């Protein structure tokens, strides 16, 4: 019946936009119940638990016991923030459920995998269940009694390759050995003093047979295996540690941007983490900017607005990255409490030969400027694009035409030998 419901949901998605999720649940350490009370008592526990959950789920949703101590909940027509809340509430219900048996109270927790089903999803319900089960396994290996969330993938990375990349990422994270690079932002409209950079991350090779992983290789895997938030924080920590050893950069550094994953955007402790990471630093908070993707701001406007306010209170700046990718871009540029608007690459790549893109980019720039925000054109890769961006009055530019990514160590001030000793270097 659950498979039939999943099929109906997939058919409906082909005809209209809908927000659906699949929650896969596995009870933690349930095997000890068998040892304590026997299989008959365990069956009664499961029936009682299922009944308790059944009366608490929404009427439109479908709760099913799959096998053993695993359940699945199909959450239909429900935005992702609410689906995440339902998943957490379900875990709380399981943790609070107590079954009395011969004077003993049986209770346990559960791990969950929440699969967000966007428009581009597998057409086979079994694939959806398998992906949700993988997320649940990640929650278990991450410490149990938690939910791990990711989007359904129509085309998954080969399991063996994904496992190798996960191991490579974990080794780099455990050893604090991420490769950090930077790409400079250059003033386009008028000269500006100081360094303006965006921090980029690579995953180092763990052995002679491995390759250095680029973002397109590791980010989808990091998001799927609950490593994205940890990755964000490690990039920030390593950057701040390196900056702490470069006192001569303090007056020069005017902008240092970090890209945020969705996991960090939805993490209500992130602003507190940033403030703690920067405590005791010689660099002012307003040197640092957290870049949030427009797709995330469009999908979670309330969560992003709350994060922006929290970061601003701590003294940091916020950028909207990829602006112009959707029709919501113009309203976001006007009302979202961000300081910087980074224009989507597709608006810039064909700017020189597409007059419509020129009009759209100019309109977005004027809206941002009227709202008191700075604009950055990304992916400037030709002289023609640079000339157009300058003509339109964009404040900053970023791209291979201006500066290619370079190792962060190369940002170090050049060494100068004076009679009083050497400075820089």
Domain annotation for the chain: domains and CATH numbers: 2-156 (3.30.70.270), 163-416 (3.20.20.450)
Distance CA 141, CA 102 (A): 32
Rounded to 5°, the CA angle 187-416-249 comes to 40
Alpha-carbon gap, residue 329 to 201, rounded angstroms:
27
Among 347, 345, 260, which Cα is nearest to 310's?
Answer: 260
**Burial label, 362 (beta-carbon count in 10 A; 0-12, 13-18, 19+):** middle
Integer CA distances (angstroms), 134 to 13, 19, 130, 140, 166, in order? 23, 21, 6, 10, 13
Query: Alpha helices, DSSP H only, in 142-227?
Result: 159-174, 215-224
Write down the number of H helices and E strands in the chain: 16, 19
DSSP 357-380: HHHHHHHHHHHHHHTT-EEEE---
Report phi then psi at 178, rounded to 5.
-70, 145
Cα angle 134, 139, 142; round to 5? 125
Contact 279, 289 (CB under 8 A): no
**Contact present, 373 and 333 (Cβ < 8 Å):** yes
Phi-psi map region of 410: left, alpha, beta (phi>0 left; psi -120 to 50 alpha)? alpha
Pairwise CA distance, residues 237 & 277, whole Å: 7
d(CA 202, CA 214): 5
Residues written for the chain: 425
Burial of residue 307 (CB within 10 Å: 0-12, 13-18, 19+) is: buried
Rounded Cα distance between 245 and 239, Å, is 10
Between helix 215-224 and helix 159-174 the angle, nearest 10°, is 90
Pairing of strands 416-418, 421-423: antiparallel
Please give the model's pTM, rounded to 2 decimal places. Answer: 0.74
Q: Which two tokens mark 39?
A: 């299989």
With beta carbons less than 8 A apart as the criterion, state whether 348 and 378 touch: yes
257: nearest Cα among 215, 192, 314, 200 = 200
Per the CB < 8 A criterion, the answer to whether 99 and 108 are in contact is no
* Contact (CB, 8 A) for 322 and 344: yes
Cα 385 to Cα 186, 326, 341, 352, 358: the distances in Å are: 14, 21, 18, 5, 10
Q: What is the CA radius of gyration of the chain?
A: 25
Question: Is the distance from CB of 108 to CB of 37 less than 8 angstroms?
Answer: no
Q: Give residue for tokens 């991420």.
A: 178
Tell me the C-alpha to C-alpha distance, in Å, between residue 137 and each of 27, 113, 143, 328, 329.
11, 8, 10, 36, 37
Per-residue pLDDT 10s for the chain (425 aa) are 999 999 999 888 777 777 899 999 999 988 887 777 777 888 888 999 999 999 888 888 999 999 889 999 999 988 887 898 899 999 999 999 998 877 778 889 999 999 999 877 888 899 899 889 988 988 887 778 889 888 888 766 667 788 889 899 999 999 999 999 999 999 987 777 889 999 999 999 987 777 899 998 899 888 888 889 999 999 999 999 999 999 889 999 999 999 999 889 988 899 999 999 999 899 999 999 999 999 888 878 888 999 999 999 999 999 999 998 777 888 888 899 999 999 998 888 878 778 888 898 999 999 999 999 999 999 999 888 898 899 999 999 999 999 999 999 999 765 556 566 655 55
């Amino acid at each position: 019946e659950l498979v039939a419901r999943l099929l109906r949901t997939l058919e409906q998605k082909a005809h209209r936009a809908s927000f659906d999720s699949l929650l896969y649940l596995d009870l933690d350490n349930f095997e000890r119940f068998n040892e304590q009370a026997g299989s008959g008592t365990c069956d009664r526990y499961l029936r009682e638990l299922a009944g308790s959950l059944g009366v608490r789920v929404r009427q439109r949703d479908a709760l099913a016991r799959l096998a053993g101590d695993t359940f699945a909940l199909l959450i239909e027509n429900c935005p992702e923030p609410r689906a995440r809340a339902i998943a957490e509430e379900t875990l709380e219900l399981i943790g609070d459920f107590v079954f009395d048996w011969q004077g003993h109270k049986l209770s346990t927790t559960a791990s969950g995998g929440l699969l967000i089903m966007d428009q581009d999803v597998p057409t086979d319900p079994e694939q959806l269940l398998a992906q949700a089960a993988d997320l649940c396994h990640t929650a278990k290996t991450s410490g149990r009694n938690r939910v791990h969330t990711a989007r359904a993938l129509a085309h998954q990375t080969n399991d063996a390759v994904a496992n190798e990349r996960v191991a490579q990422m974990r080794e780099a994270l455990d050893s604090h050995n991420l490769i950090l690079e930077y790409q400079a932002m250059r003033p386009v409209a008028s000269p500006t003093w100081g360094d303006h950079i965006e921090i980029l991350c690579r995953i180092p090779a763990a052995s002679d047979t491995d390759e250095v992983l680029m973002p397109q290789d590791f980010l989808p895997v990091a998001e799927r295996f609950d490593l994205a938030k940890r990755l964000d924080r490690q990039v920030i920590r390593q950057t701040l540690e390196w900056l702490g050893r470069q006192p001569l950069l303090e007056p020069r550094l005017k902008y240092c941007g970090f890209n945020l994953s969705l996991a960090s955007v939805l993490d209500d402790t992130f602003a507190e983490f940033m403030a703690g990471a920067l405590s005791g630093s010689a660099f002012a908070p307003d040197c640092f900017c957290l870049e949030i993707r427009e797709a995330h701001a469009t999908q979670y406007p309330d969560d992003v607005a709350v994060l922006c306010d929290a970061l601003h209170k701590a003294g940091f700046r916020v950028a909207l990255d990829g602006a112009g990718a959707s029709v919501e871009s113009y309203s976001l540029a006007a009302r979202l409490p961000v300081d910087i608007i980074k224009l989507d690459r597709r608006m810039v790549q064909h700017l020189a030969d597409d007059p419509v893109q020129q009009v759209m980019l100019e309109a977005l720039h004027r809206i941002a400027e009227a709202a008191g925000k700075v604009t950055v054109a990304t992916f400037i890769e030709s002289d023609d694009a640079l000339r157009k961006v300058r003509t339109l009055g964009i404040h900053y530019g970023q791209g291979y035409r201006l500066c290619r990514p370079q190792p962060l160590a190369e940002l170090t001030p050049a060494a100068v030998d004076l009679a009083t000793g050497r400075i820089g270097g």
